Homo-oligomer: A and B are copies of this chain.
Amino acid sequence: MISIEQLLEKLQAEIESHSYGENPAELYDPIKYMMSLGGKRFRPLLTLIAASIYTNEWETAIKPAMAVEVFHNFTLMHDDIMDRAPLRRGEPTVHEKWNANTAILSGDVMLIRAYDLLLDIPKERLRLVLERFNCTAGEVCEGQQLDMNFETRWDVSEEEYLEMIRLKTSVLLGFALELGGIIGRADEKSIKLLYSAGENIGIGFQLKDDLLDVYGDPSKFGKQVGGDIISNKKTFLLIEALSRAGGDILADLQRWIAMETFEKNDKVNAVRDIYEALDIRSFTEEKIKAYFTRGIDCLKQLDIDNDRKTFLLAFVQQLVEREK
Protein backbone atom coordinates (compact mmCIF):
# COMPACT_ATOMS: atom_id res chain seq x y z
CA MET A 1 0.00 0.00 0.00
CA ILE A 2 1.11 3.54 -0.70
CA SER A 3 2.47 5.62 2.19
CA ILE A 4 1.23 9.02 3.42
CA GLU A 5 4.56 10.50 2.37
CA GLN A 6 4.12 9.23 -1.18
CA LEU A 7 0.59 10.60 -1.32
CA LEU A 8 1.72 13.97 -0.04
CA GLU A 9 4.63 14.10 -2.47
CA LYS A 10 2.39 13.34 -5.43
CA LEU A 11 -0.20 15.86 -4.25
CA GLN A 12 2.41 18.55 -3.70
CA ALA A 13 3.87 18.01 -7.18
CA GLU A 14 0.40 18.29 -8.72
CA ILE A 15 -0.41 21.46 -6.80
CA GLU A 16 2.89 23.03 -7.84
CA SER A 17 2.57 22.16 -11.53
CA HIS A 18 -1.14 22.99 -11.86
CA SER A 19 -1.98 26.03 -13.96
CA TYR A 20 -4.77 28.23 -12.60
CA GLY A 21 -4.39 30.57 -15.59
CA GLU A 22 -1.77 33.03 -16.82
CA ASN A 23 -3.21 36.30 -18.12
CA PRO A 24 -3.68 38.87 -16.74
CA ALA A 25 -0.81 38.23 -14.32
CA GLU A 26 -2.41 40.61 -11.76
CA LEU A 27 -5.21 38.04 -11.42
CA TYR A 28 -3.23 34.80 -11.41
CA ASP A 29 0.01 35.70 -9.59
CA PRO A 30 -1.82 36.06 -6.24
CA ILE A 31 -3.33 32.59 -6.72
CA LYS A 32 0.09 31.05 -7.36
CA TYR A 33 1.44 32.95 -4.35
CA MET A 34 -1.37 31.76 -2.07
CA MET A 35 -1.05 28.14 -3.20
CA SER A 36 2.73 28.24 -2.72
CA LEU A 37 2.52 29.36 0.92
CA GLY A 38 2.17 25.73 1.85
CA GLY A 39 0.20 24.53 4.82
CA LYS A 40 -0.16 20.97 5.95
CA ARG A 41 -2.42 20.00 2.99
CA PHE A 42 -4.25 17.67 5.33
CA ARG A 43 -7.66 18.32 3.75
CA PRO A 44 -6.69 16.98 0.32
CA LEU A 45 -4.72 14.21 2.05
CA LEU A 46 -7.91 13.14 3.80
CA THR A 47 -9.59 12.84 0.39
CA LEU A 48 -6.70 10.86 -1.07
CA ILE A 49 -6.44 8.55 1.92
CA ALA A 50 -10.19 7.91 2.02
CA ALA A 51 -10.14 7.15 -1.70
CA SER A 52 -7.07 4.93 -1.39
CA ILE A 53 -8.68 2.68 1.22
CA TYR A 54 -11.49 1.87 -1.23
CA THR A 55 -9.69 1.82 -4.57
CA ASN A 56 -6.18 1.24 -5.83
CA GLU A 57 -6.91 3.91 -8.45
CA TRP A 58 -6.48 6.63 -5.86
CA GLU A 59 -4.86 8.85 -8.50
CA THR A 60 -8.35 9.58 -9.84
CA ALA A 61 -8.88 11.45 -6.56
CA ILE A 62 -5.98 13.87 -6.99
CA LYS A 63 -7.76 16.63 -8.90
CA PRO A 64 -10.88 16.49 -6.70
CA ALA A 65 -8.59 16.52 -3.63
CA MET A 66 -6.91 19.62 -5.04
CA ALA A 67 -10.36 21.19 -5.44
CA VAL A 68 -10.76 20.91 -1.66
CA GLU A 69 -7.39 22.59 -1.09
CA VAL A 70 -8.02 25.36 -3.64
CA PHE A 71 -11.45 26.00 -2.11
CA HIS A 72 -9.90 26.15 1.37
CA ASN A 73 -7.30 28.65 0.16
CA PHE A 74 -10.02 30.73 -1.52
CA THR A 75 -11.80 31.01 1.85
CA LEU A 76 -8.52 32.00 3.53
CA MET A 77 -7.88 34.71 0.92
CA HIS A 78 -11.32 36.26 1.41
CA ASP A 79 -11.40 35.73 5.20
CA ASP A 80 -8.04 37.48 5.50
CA ILE A 81 -9.53 40.60 3.86
CA MET A 82 -12.54 40.50 6.18
CA ASP A 83 -10.39 39.91 9.28
CA ARG A 84 -7.78 42.49 8.14
CA ALA A 85 -5.11 39.84 8.76
CA PRO A 86 -1.61 41.05 7.89
CA LEU A 87 0.03 37.62 7.79
CA ARG A 88 -0.82 34.15 6.53
CA ARG A 89 1.62 31.36 7.29
CA GLY A 90 4.21 33.98 8.24
CA GLU A 91 4.00 35.77 4.89
CA PRO A 92 2.04 38.89 3.89
CA THR A 93 -1.60 38.18 3.03
CA VAL A 94 -2.71 38.80 -0.57
CA HIS A 95 -4.60 42.01 0.26
CA GLU A 96 -1.47 43.31 2.00
CA LYS A 97 1.00 42.26 -0.70
CA TRP A 98 -1.32 43.49 -3.49
CA ASN A 99 -4.61 45.09 -2.40
CA ALA A 100 -8.14 44.17 -1.34
CA ASN A 101 -9.55 44.34 -4.89
CA THR A 102 -6.96 41.85 -6.06
CA ALA A 103 -7.71 39.54 -3.14
CA ILE A 104 -11.45 39.71 -3.91
CA LEU A 105 -11.11 38.97 -7.61
CA SER A 106 -8.30 36.39 -7.40
CA GLY A 107 -10.30 34.67 -4.66
CA ASP A 108 -13.34 34.56 -6.94
CA VAL A 109 -11.26 32.87 -9.63
CA MET A 110 -9.96 30.34 -7.10
CA LEU A 111 -13.52 29.33 -6.28
CA ILE A 112 -14.22 28.87 -9.99
CA ARG A 113 -11.01 26.85 -10.39
CA ALA A 114 -12.04 24.61 -7.50
CA TYR A 115 -15.17 23.74 -9.49
CA ASP A 116 -12.96 23.08 -12.51
CA LEU A 117 -10.92 20.58 -10.53
CA LEU A 118 -14.09 18.80 -9.43
CA LEU A 119 -15.06 18.07 -13.02
CA ASP A 120 -12.64 15.15 -12.97
CA ILE A 121 -15.29 13.14 -11.12
CA PRO A 122 -16.86 10.37 -13.25
CA LYS A 123 -20.12 11.45 -14.88
CA GLU A 124 -22.45 9.26 -12.82
CA ARG A 125 -21.24 10.72 -9.53
CA LEU A 126 -20.59 14.31 -10.64
CA ARG A 127 -23.97 15.72 -9.65
CA LEU A 128 -23.84 14.10 -6.21
CA VAL A 129 -20.36 15.48 -5.56
CA LEU A 130 -21.35 18.95 -6.71
CA GLU A 131 -24.51 18.94 -4.58
CA ARG A 132 -22.46 18.02 -1.55
CA PHE A 133 -19.72 20.51 -2.41
CA ASN A 134 -22.20 23.38 -2.94
CA CYS A 135 -23.85 22.58 0.36
CA THR A 136 -20.48 22.48 2.14
CA ALA A 137 -19.19 25.65 0.49
CA GLY A 138 -22.35 27.54 1.46
CA GLU A 139 -22.04 26.31 5.04
CA VAL A 140 -18.41 27.47 5.25
CA CYS A 141 -19.58 30.98 4.26
CA GLU A 142 -22.37 30.79 6.85
CA GLY A 143 -19.75 29.88 9.47
CA GLN A 144 -17.59 32.86 8.51
CA GLN A 145 -20.63 35.18 8.75
CA LEU A 146 -21.52 33.80 12.20
CA ASP A 147 -17.89 34.25 13.29
CA MET A 148 -18.08 37.92 12.22
CA ASN A 149 -21.46 38.34 13.93
CA PHE A 150 -19.96 36.98 17.17
CA GLU A 151 -17.30 39.71 17.21
CA THR A 152 -19.83 42.25 18.45
CA ARG A 153 -21.84 39.93 20.68
CA TRP A 154 -21.10 39.07 24.31
CA ASP A 155 -23.87 36.53 24.79
CA VAL A 156 -22.64 33.78 22.45
CA SER A 157 -23.57 30.41 23.91
CA GLU A 158 -21.40 27.28 23.86
CA GLU A 159 -23.95 25.71 21.53
CA GLU A 160 -23.82 28.64 19.09
CA TYR A 161 -20.03 28.60 19.14
CA LEU A 162 -19.86 24.88 18.41
CA GLU A 163 -22.31 25.32 15.52
CA MET A 164 -20.19 28.19 14.13
CA ILE A 165 -16.97 26.14 14.13
CA ARG A 166 -18.85 23.15 12.73
CA LEU A 167 -19.84 25.28 9.75
CA LYS A 168 -16.65 27.30 9.36
CA THR A 169 -14.14 24.50 9.82
CA SER A 170 -15.44 21.02 10.18
CA VAL A 171 -17.96 20.51 7.35
CA LEU A 172 -15.05 20.86 4.91
CA LEU A 173 -13.11 18.11 6.70
CA GLY A 174 -16.27 16.01 6.57
CA PHE A 175 -16.61 16.71 2.85
CA ALA A 176 -12.92 15.95 2.21
CA LEU A 177 -13.33 12.44 3.66
CA GLU A 178 -16.76 11.92 2.10
CA LEU A 179 -15.39 12.92 -1.31
CA GLY A 180 -12.68 10.26 -1.06
CA GLY A 181 -15.33 7.71 -0.18
CA ILE A 182 -17.54 8.72 -3.12
CA ILE A 183 -14.61 8.49 -5.53
CA GLY A 184 -13.68 5.09 -4.07
CA ARG A 185 -17.29 3.95 -4.58
CA ALA A 186 -17.81 3.25 -0.90
CA ASP A 187 -21.38 2.35 0.09
CA GLU A 188 -23.77 4.99 1.39
CA LYS A 189 -23.38 4.02 5.05
CA SER A 190 -19.57 4.26 4.86
CA ILE A 191 -19.79 7.64 3.12
CA LYS A 192 -21.96 8.94 5.97
CA LEU A 193 -19.49 7.57 8.52
CA LEU A 194 -16.59 9.26 6.74
CA TYR A 195 -18.46 12.57 6.76
CA SER A 196 -19.33 12.28 10.47
CA ALA A 197 -15.74 11.39 11.26
CA GLY A 198 -14.49 14.55 9.54
CA GLU A 199 -17.19 16.68 11.11
CA ASN A 200 -16.38 15.53 14.65
CA ILE A 201 -12.63 15.57 14.22
CA GLY A 202 -12.92 19.07 12.69
CA ILE A 203 -14.73 20.41 15.75
CA GLY A 204 -12.14 18.79 18.02
CA PHE A 205 -9.44 20.25 15.82
CA GLN A 206 -10.75 23.82 16.13
CA LEU A 207 -11.25 23.46 19.89
CA LYS A 208 -7.67 22.24 20.14
CA ASP A 209 -6.59 25.34 18.21
CA ASP A 210 -8.38 27.45 20.82
CA LEU A 211 -6.68 25.50 23.60
CA LEU A 212 -3.18 25.61 22.09
CA ASP A 213 -3.46 29.38 21.75
CA VAL A 214 -3.55 29.52 25.57
CA TYR A 215 -1.58 26.47 26.63
CA GLY A 216 0.53 25.63 23.59
CA ASP A 217 4.29 25.20 23.71
CA PRO A 218 5.68 28.49 22.29
CA SER A 219 8.53 26.55 20.67
CA LYS A 220 6.07 24.35 18.73
CA PHE A 221 2.90 26.45 18.23
CA GLY A 222 2.95 28.31 14.92
CA LYS A 223 1.31 31.48 16.20
CA GLN A 224 1.93 33.76 19.18
CA VAL A 225 0.75 31.92 22.31
CA GLY A 226 -1.89 34.07 24.03
CA GLY A 227 -2.81 35.91 20.83
CA ASP A 228 -6.51 35.14 21.23
CA ILE A 229 -6.48 36.40 24.83
CA ILE A 230 -4.76 39.64 23.83
CA SER A 231 -7.32 40.31 21.08
CA ASN A 232 -10.36 39.21 23.15
CA LYS A 233 -11.13 36.61 20.50
CA LYS A 234 -14.29 34.74 21.40
CA THR A 235 -12.82 31.25 21.66
CA PHE A 236 -14.43 28.26 23.29
CA LEU A 237 -12.41 28.98 26.42
CA LEU A 238 -13.50 32.60 26.73
CA ILE A 239 -17.16 31.79 26.01
CA GLU A 240 -17.08 29.04 28.60
CA ALA A 241 -15.32 31.28 31.13
CA LEU A 242 -17.87 34.06 30.62
CA SER A 243 -20.73 31.64 31.19
CA ARG A 244 -19.16 30.03 34.29
CA ALA A 245 -17.71 33.08 36.00
CA GLY A 246 -19.62 35.08 38.60
CA GLY A 247 -18.90 37.70 41.24
CA ASP A 248 -15.28 38.84 41.52
CA ILE A 249 -13.96 36.48 38.88
CA LEU A 250 -16.45 37.74 36.29
CA ALA A 251 -15.67 41.34 37.20
CA ASP A 252 -11.96 40.62 36.88
CA LEU A 253 -12.40 38.93 33.48
CA GLN A 254 -14.55 41.78 32.21
CA ARG A 255 -12.00 44.31 33.45
CA TRP A 256 -9.24 42.62 31.46
CA ILE A 257 -11.48 42.41 28.37
CA ALA A 258 -12.32 46.13 28.59
CA MET A 259 -8.75 47.26 29.32
CA GLU A 260 -7.27 49.27 26.45
CA THR A 261 -3.65 49.56 27.61
CA PHE A 262 -1.88 46.61 29.18
CA GLU A 263 1.33 44.61 29.24
CA LYS A 264 0.59 41.63 26.97
CA ASN A 265 2.06 39.04 29.33
CA ASP A 266 0.09 40.43 32.28
CA LYS A 267 -3.20 40.01 30.44
CA VAL A 268 -2.33 36.54 29.17
CA ASN A 269 -1.28 35.39 32.64
CA ALA A 270 -4.28 36.96 34.36
CA VAL A 271 -6.82 35.43 31.95
CA ARG A 272 -5.00 32.11 32.12
CA ASP A 273 -5.35 32.23 35.92
CA ILE A 274 -9.05 32.90 35.56
CA TYR A 275 -9.37 29.92 33.20
CA GLU A 276 -7.51 27.83 35.79
CA ALA A 277 -9.81 28.95 38.61
CA LEU A 278 -12.84 28.03 36.48
CA ASP A 279 -11.41 24.68 35.41
CA ILE A 280 -11.70 25.70 31.77
CA ARG A 281 -8.61 23.82 30.63
CA SER A 282 -9.66 20.36 31.69
CA PHE A 283 -13.24 20.99 30.54
CA THR A 284 -11.98 21.97 27.09
CA GLU A 285 -9.60 19.01 26.98
CA GLU A 286 -12.48 16.68 27.73
CA LYS A 287 -14.62 18.24 25.01
CA ILE A 288 -11.80 17.85 22.50
CA LYS A 289 -11.30 14.25 23.50
CA ALA A 290 -15.02 13.55 23.18
CA TYR A 291 -15.18 14.94 19.63
CA PHE A 292 -12.01 13.13 18.56
CA THR A 293 -13.26 9.87 20.06
CA ARG A 294 -16.61 10.25 18.32
CA GLY A 295 -14.85 10.91 15.00
CA ILE A 296 -12.43 8.00 15.38
CA ASP A 297 -15.27 5.69 16.39
CA CYS A 298 -16.96 6.48 13.06
CA LEU A 299 -13.79 5.44 11.25
CA LYS A 300 -13.50 2.27 13.32
CA GLN A 301 -16.99 1.26 12.18
CA LEU A 302 -15.93 1.30 8.51
CA ASP A 303 -16.21 -2.10 6.90
CA ILE A 304 -12.67 -2.28 5.43
CA ASP A 305 -9.50 -4.40 5.76
CA ASN A 306 -7.60 -3.94 8.98
CA ASP A 307 -4.52 -2.79 7.08
CA ARG A 308 -6.39 0.01 5.42
CA LYS A 309 -8.19 0.98 8.59
CA THR A 310 -4.88 1.21 10.43
CA PHE A 311 -3.49 3.38 7.63
CA LEU A 312 -6.41 5.83 7.90
CA LEU A 313 -6.44 5.82 11.71
CA ALA A 314 -2.68 6.43 11.90
CA PHE A 315 -3.01 9.57 9.81
CA VAL A 316 -5.98 10.84 11.79
CA GLN A 317 -4.17 10.09 15.06
CA GLN A 318 -1.31 12.26 13.89
CA LEU A 319 -3.73 15.11 13.12
CA VAL A 320 -5.35 14.74 16.50
CA GLU A 321 -2.06 14.80 18.38
CA ARG A 322 -0.66 17.89 16.69
CA GLU A 323 0.76 20.52 18.98
CA LYS A 324 1.07 23.29 16.46
B142 engages A27 (CB within 8 Å) = yes
**Considering the chains assembled together, what is the distance between the CA atoms of A72 and B145 in angstroms?**
22
A residues neighboring B (CB under 8 Å): 21, 23-24, 26-27, 78, 81-82, 100-101, 104-105, 107-109, 111-113, 115-116, 119, 123-124, 126-127, 130-131, 134, 137-138, 141-142, 144-146, 148-149
With contact pairs A123-B127, A142-B24 given, residues A108 and B109 touching in the complex (Cβ less than 8 Å): no
**Considering the chains assembled together, what is the distance between the CA atoms of A107 and B100 in angstroms?**
15
With contact pairs A131-B119, A134-B115 given, residues A141 and B105 touching in the complex (Cβ less than 8 Å): yes
Name which residue of chain B comes closest to A103, CB basis: B104
Q: How far is the CB of A234 from chain B (nearest CB, A)?
A: 15
List of B residues within 8 angstroms of A134 by Cβ = 112-113, 115-116, 119
**Considering the chains assembled together, what is the distance between the CA atoms of A109 and B123 in angstroms?**
25
B113 engages A145 (CB within 8 Å) = no
List of B residues within 8 angstroms of A26 by Cβ = 145, 148-149
List of B residues within 8 angstroms of A116 by Cβ = 131, 134
With contact pairs A104-B104, A123-B124, A126-B126 given, residues A109 and B82 touching in the complex (Cβ less than 8 Å): no
B126 engages A112 (CB within 8 Å) = no
7 residue pairs of the A-B complex, CB under 8 angstroms, read A100-B100, A109-B138, A109-B141, A113-B138, A115-B130, A119-B134, A123-B126
Name which residue of chain B comes closest to A121, CB basis: B127
The listed residue with most B CB atoms (<10 A of its CB), out of A24, A78, A109, is A24
B127 engages A112 (CB within 8 Å) = no
Name which residue of chain B comes closest to A84, CB basis: B101
**Considering the chains assembled together, what is the distance between the CA atoms of A280 and B144 in angstroms?**
49
B27 engages A141 (CB within 8 Å) = yes
**Considering the chains assembled together, what is the distance between the CA atoms of A113 and B135 in angstroms?**
9
A23 engages B123 (CB within 8 Å) = no
A127 engages B138 (CB within 8 Å) = no
- Out of B104, B108, B123, B149, name the residue touching A123 (CB < 8 Å): B123
With contact pairs A81-B104, A104-B82, A104-B104 given, residues A145 and B112 touching in the complex (Cβ less than 8 Å): no
A104 engages B126 (CB within 8 Å) = no
B130 engages A112 (CB within 8 Å) = no
**Considering the chains assembled together, what is the distance between the CA atoms of A21 and B100 in angstroms?**
27
List of B residues within 8 angstroms of A141 by Cβ = 27, 105, 108-109, 112
A112 engages B137 (CB within 8 Å) = yes
**Considering the chains assembled together, what is the distance between the CA atoms of A81 and B105 in angstroms?**
11
- Out of B101, B138, B144, B148, name the residue touching A112 (CB < 8 Å): B138
Name which residue of chain B comes closest to A74, CB basis: B108
List of B residues within 8 angstroms of A149 by Cβ = 24, 26
A21 engages B138 (CB within 8 Å) = yes
Ordered nearest first, which 8 A-B pairs have the shortest CB separation?
A: A27-B145, A82-B101, A112-B137, A116-B134, A109-B141, A24-B145, A112-B138, A108-B141
